[in-house]
Amino acid sequence: MKALEKLNSHLKTRLTDLSKAKEQGRKIIGYTAGGYLPEELVLACDAIPICFIQSGDNNALKDAGAYICRWLDPFWRSQIGYLTSGKDPYYTIADLIVIPITDNHIRAFSNTAGYYTPEIESFVFGVPHVKDELALGYYLQGINRLKKKLEDFTGVEISESRLKQSIQLCNRERELFRQISLMRQPEDFAVASKDFVALNHGSFLADKEVMVEILESFVKEVKDSTPLPKDGPRILLTGSTLARGDSKVIDIIEDTGGVVVMEEFAEGIRPYWGKVKLEGDLMANLAESYFMGRVCSGWFRPGTERLDFLIKLAREYKAAGMIWYQLMYRESYKVESYFFPDILRKETGLNMLTLESEYDTAETGPMKTRIETFIKTIRS
């Protein structure tokens, strides 16, 4: 696909481009994964948002070992490893790190950034774990504080018109992701999961306008493409985090004949179902869309909204099975993985395979055996 080639080529020079932008006085705002930072605010003050989304390499965990014990989610330990070791330049190029605090795993990263790397300024705000008016108000206060911080930090006022413009751009990106994702609902489709995930991961690092162009080209290309072979069972893949660099599960599923038709992840896949309204109070609209409107992550309580959404996705994407890919020690997902299979089976008749990872290469063999068996069971 030419669009993907363009993305790769853009990302190859991205760090150089970012350095140049920095030299020209633009600020780079690094932020943590989870989808709770409205990129619109960063774009509206002419800064560049870069999401910390790399992971999957066990070496980063070793680097993190000096700062944190092993009993936390490996994705978040990796973030600590990348930040403190400086081995991934995306993590050290940031002028300011914004950390929307969701659960305690993110808090571990936040503490580490604050205590061990004070030379890079960080800004935190909280994401409540329940959905109600009080929680919405709290989230809105958080992003209002962020707006002020960004204005002070960049010296650029986030005016109504600038914010509207950036919302339009981000809405366009979400709309394109949604469009691409929906292309996989029919039996014949031409969007490989790996490509969809690559686009998602790329979008966390790429220039927003370039990304939108890439997505538009991708949509056009897909429409003219030959559908993928459809003999494999359709798999809904879900979990806490699908990081850039963590392709093991999708690789194995596809190698063993399964076809991933949907990826539902809290971290690593951009929330693309909603749209931010352009009328009325734009900050309230951002809060509504980024907090209330999006389907909650696994650490929300209760987590029923997300579980119901998974059932809906399974039906709409005609899944033949669900693979629940969680990272070790992410307790919210672990607990849900115990009682959800019964609900899923009752509602859809589908089976669920639970996989866990600590980004260890030794996991590949057993994981392959389990996925192969699952795919065979579905086929039979």
Residues of the shown chain interacting with other proteins in the complex, contacts defined by CB under 8 A: 66-69, 71-72, 101, 103-105, 107-108, 110-115, 122-130, 132, 134-135, 137-138, 141-142, 298-299, 301-303, 328-329, 331-332, 334-336, 338-339, 343, 356
Closest to other proteins by CB, 108 vs 269, is 108
Closest to other proteins by CB, 85 vs 247, is 85
State the minimum distance, in angstroms, from the CB of residue 229 to other proteins.
37
Buried b (16+ CB within 10 A) or exposed e, 144-162: bebbebbbebbebebeeeb
Whether cis (ω within 30° of 0) applies to the bond prior to 38 is no
State the minimum distance, in angstroms, from the CB of residue 117 to other proteins.
10
State the minimum distance, in angstroms, from the CB of residue 2 to other proteins.
43
Residue (of 112, 1, 100, 125) closest to 67 by Cα position: 112
Handedness of CA 222, 223, 229, 231 (dihedral sign): positive
Q: What amino acid is encoded at 360 in this protein?
A: D
Closest to other proteins by CB, 123 vs 196, is 123
The crossing angle, in degrees rounded to 10, of helices 331-348 and 304-316 is 50
DSSP structure class, residue 289: I
Residue (of 46, 125, 58, 60) closest to 90 by Cα position: 60
State the minimum distance, in angstroms, from the CB of residue 280 to other proteins.
23
Closest to other proteins by CB, 102 vs 166, is 102
Closest to other proteins by CB, 72 vs 83, is 72
State the minimum distance, in angstroms, from the CB of residue 359 to other proteins.
16
CA 181/CA 226 separation, integer angstroms: 17
State the minimum distance, in angstroms, from the CB of residue 42 to other proteins.
19
The answer to whether the CB of 162 falls within 8 A of the CB of 170 is: no
Closest to other proteins by CB, 126 vs 245, is 126
